[in-house]
Amino acid sequence: MASDVRVSVEALQENQVQEVSLDGQETYVQPLSMSENLAKLAHRIDFSQEDSDGEVQLEPGEEEEEEEEERKKQEAHWPWESIRDKLRTSLVETNVLLDVLKIAKDKKYMVLDPVSQEPQPSKPVLQYVAKKESLSGAADILQKGADRLAKSQAEFSSGSRGQGDFHRELLKLRQYWRLRRAGNNILGDLSFKSAGSHYWHSGVFEVVKTTEEGMAPGSSPLEVRIPSDLEGNAYIQVVIEDQLETIIAVKAALLPNSRREAAPGEPPWNVKLEAAQNVLFCKELFAQLAREAVQMKSTIPHLVVGNQITSQIFPGVQLSIALCHNTVEEDSKDDTTSPQRCQHNHVLEHALHQMLREVHRSNLNPAPPHPVTAPFSSSKKRRVAGPQGLDRKQCTQLQETEGLLERLEKQAKHTLLRARILDMIDKLAQEVNDPCLQAHVSSIGTSTESSVRIIITSPGYEQICKTMLHVNIGVEDVKVVSKDGKVITLSYDEHELRDLLLHQACQHQVNTVQSLSKMMGWQILHLSNHVGTGPVEKLGNASGIMMASPKGDRVISVRNSPSLGPLVSVQLTRQKGCETWRSDVIKDTKWDQVGGSFKPVQWDKAKGRNFVNKIELLMGCLT
Amino acid sequence: MGVTCVSQWPVPDGKSGQQAVEMLQRRLEATGATKAGSFCVDCETYMSGQSITPSKTAHVMHSTGHPLTCFAIMDSGTCLVADSNFDQLMTKLKGFYAPRKGAKIEVKGPRYEYVDFIVKIGTVTTGPTASSRGILVEVEYTPCVVPNDCWSLLTEFMGTFMGDNKPAIPQVLASKQDGIYSPTDTILQYLEHFNNYRKSTGNK
Amino acid sequence: MSGGVSMQEYLLQGSVLDSSCETLLHRLRGLSDNVDTGPEAFVDQEMVYILRGSQTPPVMLRARRALDQPDSLPWQLRYVGTAEAGIGDKSRSTLVRTCIDVATSDNVTTFLTDMGFRLDHECVVKGYLFTKGCIKVTVSKIFRVTVPGNTENLEPLSLSHLVELSVVSPSGQDEVADTMKLFAEQLKPIVQLEKVDHRRLQQV
């Protein structure tokens, strides 16, 4: 046995390193002493296992294998008699067991009966059962999957709607809308957050598969569930109203028609989602406007009541902005019952959209910092504010940003002002035939500024004289620039411009007469745009001209005023034949030239197409 | 932002600084100027520690006229115009630059507006006790940035309420001539006056 | 950005080889806010100044300006503190350090020299800037300036790009760190963004 073989046991040359300290010092594990080593090895032997295994290894010769493995141990055990004794007893026990088994096998003297559930024999059985179960479970899952695949394959090939359609629709939906998966649900996002909105509403919608029974023919297998507060349709209504009537009304919504039918080939969910997004957009827009209305300080405070903001833009003119949100389906009559008397203003509507989008954009894209370590700031100007030493006024200007409402009001004012002024000019041009008023509205302008060029001419005499005025319509005032560069600022009252134009028309006629007299060789004695004599005018001053015929014996005097119209008088020198004037004192014929009194011309009876024409004819007959 | 002139206003004998300020205010109001808030310019002086040779002085100044700005002036004359964050930076340099004790100097007072002119009348105070040192008058003509173009207008205006005590052209303005006036120039004028006050108190 | 609030920088850094930089830019472009405008290119010059003292620890300031933009933009003077305690702390997902940004006038280099600072080194940083909410992402290449002061003669420092994720916010807002970590996760296979302990780097 083991005692025959000589084995020398040596400790390892190098001790194991227990740890390396931070200074590089290695601490070794102290080598074990002989007895410690033995104890350690002895611990490794699993005696119980030996007992159970021992039943097969009966013969000492066979046991040698085991002994072989643990030769070292045995060698070391040798002084330990008890170990060998235990092994011996175990051998004896196994021998006995073998005998018992042999006897039991014959079933003559002994019968083995199952007493209790022995762990050993039952173990593999249990494992088999468990394996079987799990395998069948896996098979079930695979089978189900295969069934589903087969089903969808069949559906796909047959073209019927169902699961496959749902996925195709989902793919389509994914192309237009943001979707994400949360657990078993598919959630979508119709908010403007990704575009820079800071509105509180999450705008989450849910995508569900239409249940089989609820599916009507022609409906989509995919259904979207939108939050209840985004249902229906909404628009922002902007109305400018006089005390008497509505002047301009604007319905602003994301969609041109709040209730539109699905375009051919368009899935029904898209309509629903777009409508919901429209509601969200309107809500955000209105929330922003209402917030500004409350914050804004103005002489006449803004009224925010429920879903309506009211403010005064001009005396007696109100701007009201309302959020109209219809959640119920039956409201479509409302549109038809209120006939749209007033014109729809596309510019104002567009402005509303644009402004909110601009806010979004600026939220998303602040001025990029340069150099990049610079902090984010609202604008480039803010960043240089410190180093450039901006003063108090400039700093407050920096912080002041025009709100949406303020801009909307400005645009509304401008729109209204422009409408009024153009209307006035149109009426005036109809009213005043002589001279002619032509108005050219410039197509280029901004939402708060536009311009009109007014040309005053006398028909037939356009080449002689032309009066041009440039009218700049602003937000609250009107600026008129005349040809000589003079700027006249007028208030928002369009009558002021009317008066000015009437006055200009008068002046124009006098100026034309002046040019005409030059061409006809008449001599201008006097010309004034603001005649100081005569009756007091209701507006402005009359303009007047006096001119003498080439010979100097006739004088025409023209006084033209907007309120009284033209007043033409002619002065004739004394009649030549009238000798009674000749006295002894006045002998010289030159005194014949001294004018007599002016005689008014009955102007409405004078011949001629228009004023200038009449003057020309008059001049002709007096020359 | 326009051209500014800062000048010293002598306190007449037998009158307190407060009375002198009130008199100026009355005169200004008589010309039609309206009071528009108050103003304050302060200056903190930092001395370098031993680690920096030769020793240096840095003045850090703020003005309510330039609310977002902090001015830092070295004794070499370099004037850095920076954000108001600069103050925090100075605290990080406290191992090198420490504020000189009792050297904080401040000018405070009412601010007047008269069409294009802004007039500030301030009492100069120093130290923690805020003892009064004198009066400074700042006159700014806002529409112009070229000193030469508007100096005569400025002096004429100053004459209306300062009388014979109106100042001669400050050094900073005289050297600028046709150059463009910057906020730094105002601050440098204040600093010069502050230094004068310091010197005069040092002599006493 | 008032003077009183102390700001902190939350920082994650990483680097990416030039060859895979393009991939990263594409990825960032998709993730960041400025999708429509595209990445913002930048070329900055950075000059690092140090003030050394015998007793006190040295102070380092970084002066930076944009080279590709007109001169109207200010210089940025930046003080960056050492990383806060807890760099090894696993619960903190980013490096946190105090940070003072001051916009200054263009004479800042003269001013710093006058204060006693010495130019330590300078470099030119070229790259792209992305933003995602309050997060600033820069992908940049650092160039050595071969001739001092001449920003034309450049030599790349390495074959990779520096990627930085940073947020500057008032102190105590630790939740931004988590947001940054989440964002960094999304860049993971291309670039590994980590908190880098610069002190340890200096010791190596």
Contact A458, A436 (CB under 8 A): yes
Q: Which residue of B has its CA nearest to C109?
A: B80
Q: Is B96 on the interface with C (CB under 8 A)?
A: yes
User: Which of B83, B91, B185 is best to mutate for the C interface (most C CBs within 10 A)?
Assistant: B83
Q: Is B36 on the interface with A (CB under 8 A)?
A: no
pLDDT, residue A53, reads 47
At A467-526, the pLDDT tens digits run 999 999 998 889 999 888 889 999 888 888 998 898 888 889 899 999 999 888 888 888
Distance from CA of A396 to the nearest CA of C (A): 15
Which CATH topology does C7-195 take? Hypothetical Protein Pfu-838710-001 (2.40.320)
Confidence of residue A534 (pLDDT cuts 50, 70, 90): confident
pLDDT, residue A88, reads 94
Contact C44 A372 (CB under 8 A): yes
Cβ-based contacts of A388 with chain C (< 8 Å): 74, 105
What would the mean pLDDT of A592-598 be, rounded to a whole number?
A: 71
DSSP category for residue A180: E
At B73-130, the pLDDT tens digits run 998 889 999 988 898 888 888 888 888 887 889 999 999 999 889 999 999 988 777 7
Give the number of A-B residue pairs with CB atoms closer than 8 Å.
39
A315: its two tokens: 């005396």
Q: Is B177 on the interface with C (CB under 8 A)?
A: no
What would the mean pLDDT of A366-378 be, rounded to a whole number?
A: 79
A568 vs A23, which has greater pLDDT? A568
Looking at this protein, which amino acid is placed at residue A167? H
ipTM summary value: 0.86
Domain boundaries, chain C: 7-195
Q: Which residue of C has its CA nearest to B78?
A: C111
Distance from CA of B36 to the nearest CA of A (A): 12
Q: Which of B37, C64, B170, B181 is nearest to A388 (CA)?
A: B181
Contact B95 C56 (CB under 8 A): yes
Alpha-carbon distances, residue A118 vs A46, A114, A273, B187 (angstroms): 21, 8, 67, 101
Contact A389 B84 (CB under 8 A): no
Q: Is B113 on the interface with A (CB under 8 A)?
A: no
Which burial class, exposed, middle or buried, applies to A149 when counting CB atoms under 10 A from its CB (0-12, 13-18, 19+)? exposed
Looking at this protein, which amino acid is placed at residue A404? L
Q: Is B204 on the interface with C (CB under 8 A)?
A: no
**Per-residue 3-state assignment (H helix, E strand, C coil) for chain B:** CCEEEEEEECCCCCCCHHHHHHHHHHHHHHHCCEEEEEEEEEEEEEEECCCCCCCCEEEEEEECCCCCEEEEEECCCCEEEEECCHHHHHHHCCCCEEECCCCCEEEEEEEEEECCEEEEEEEEEECCCCEEEEEEEEEEECCCCCHHHHHHHHHHHHHHHHHHHCCCCCHHHHHHCCCCCCHHHHHHHHHHHHHHHHHHHHHC
Query: Which of C34, C73, C78 faces A365 most closely, judged by CB atoms?
Result: C34
In sequence order, what are the residues at sequence separation of 6 or more whose Cβ sits closer than 8 angstroms to the Cβ of residue A235? A251, A252, A253, A258, A278, A282, A324
Report whether pLDDT(B43) > 60: yes
Task: Tell me the backbone φ, ψ of residue A204, rounded to 5 degrees.
Answer: -85, 135
Would you write out chain C's pLDDT as a tens digit for each of its 204 residues? 344 578 889 999 999 999 999 999 988 888 887 767 778 889 999 999 998 887 788 889 999 988 887 666 788 999 988 877 665 666 778 888 889 999 898 899 999 999 889 999 899 999 999 988 888 999 999 999 888 877 788 889 889 999 999 998 887 777 888 889 889 998 888 888 888 877 666 665
A552 vs B98, which has greater pLDDT? B98
pLDDT, residue C63, reads 92
Q: Which residue of C has its CA nearest to A380?
A: C73
Contact B86, C75 (CB under 8 A): no
Residue A383 to residue A381: CA distance in whole angstroms? 5
**Per-residue 3-state assignment (H helix, E strand, C coil) for A242-308:** CCCCEEEEEEECCCCCCCCCCCCCCCHHHHHHHHHHHHHHHHHHHHHHHHHHHHCCCCCCCEEECCE
Query: Which of C37, C66, C131 faces A371 most closely, judged by CB atoms?
Result: C66
At C1-45, the pLDDT tens digits run 344 578 889 999 999 999 999 999 988 888 887 767 778 889 999
Q: Is B195 on the interface with A (CB under 8 A)?
A: no
Question: Interhelix angle for A119-158 vs A163-176, to 10°?
Answer: 70
Q: Which of B129, B144, B137 is nearest to B193 (CA)?
A: B137
CATH number, domain B3-203: 2.40.320
Q: Is B76 on the interface with C (CB under 8 A)?
A: yes
- Of A179-188, B60-69, B101-110, least confident by mean pLDDT is A179-188
At A143-174, the pLDDT tens digits run 999 998 888 777 666 655 555 577 788 888 88
At B156-186, the pLDDT tens digits run 999 888 888 888 888 888 888 788 888 899 9
User: Which of A378, A381, A388, A392 is best to mutate for the B interface (most B CBs within 10 A)?
Assistant: A392
Cβ-based contacts of C46 with chain A (< 8 Å): 371
Contact C105 B80 (CB under 8 A): yes
Share of chain A above pLDDT 90, in %: 10
Looking at this protein, which amino acid is placed at residue C176? V
Q: Is C72 on the interface with B (CB under 8 A)?
A: no
Sign of CA dihedral A288, A292, A293, A294: positive
pLDDT, residue A250, reads 63
Confidence of residue A330 (pLDDT cuts 50, 70, 90): very low
Query: Which of B51, B70, B85 faces C101 most closely, judged by CB atoms?
Result: B85
Average pLDDT over chain A, rounded to whole? 78
Q: Is C169 on the interface with A (CB under 8 A)?
A: no
Contact A366 C66 (CB under 8 A): no
Confidence of residue A1 (pLDDT cuts 50, 70, 90): very low
At A212-221, the pLDDT tens digits run 555 555 566 7
Q: Is C60 on the interface with A (CB under 8 A)?
A: no
Domain boundaries, chain B: 3-203
Contact B137, B111 (CB under 8 A): no
Is pTM beyond 0.95? Reply is: no
Q: Is B98 on the interface with C (CB under 8 A)?
A: no
Q: Are strands B34-48 and B97-99 parallel, antiparallel or unpaired?
A: antiparallel
Residue matched to tokens 């006084």:
A559
Residues of A with CB under 8 A from a CB of C: 196, 364-366, 368-377, 380, 383-384, 386-388
Looking at this protein, which amino acid is placed at residue A152? S
Distance from CA of C55 to the nearest CA of A (A): 30
Residues of A with CB under 8 A from a CB of B: 385-392, 394-395
pLDDT, residue A43, reads 82
Cβ-based contacts of C102 with chain B (< 8 Å): 82-83, 85-86, 88-89
- Of A107-116, A444-453, B21-30, least confident by mean pLDDT is A107-116
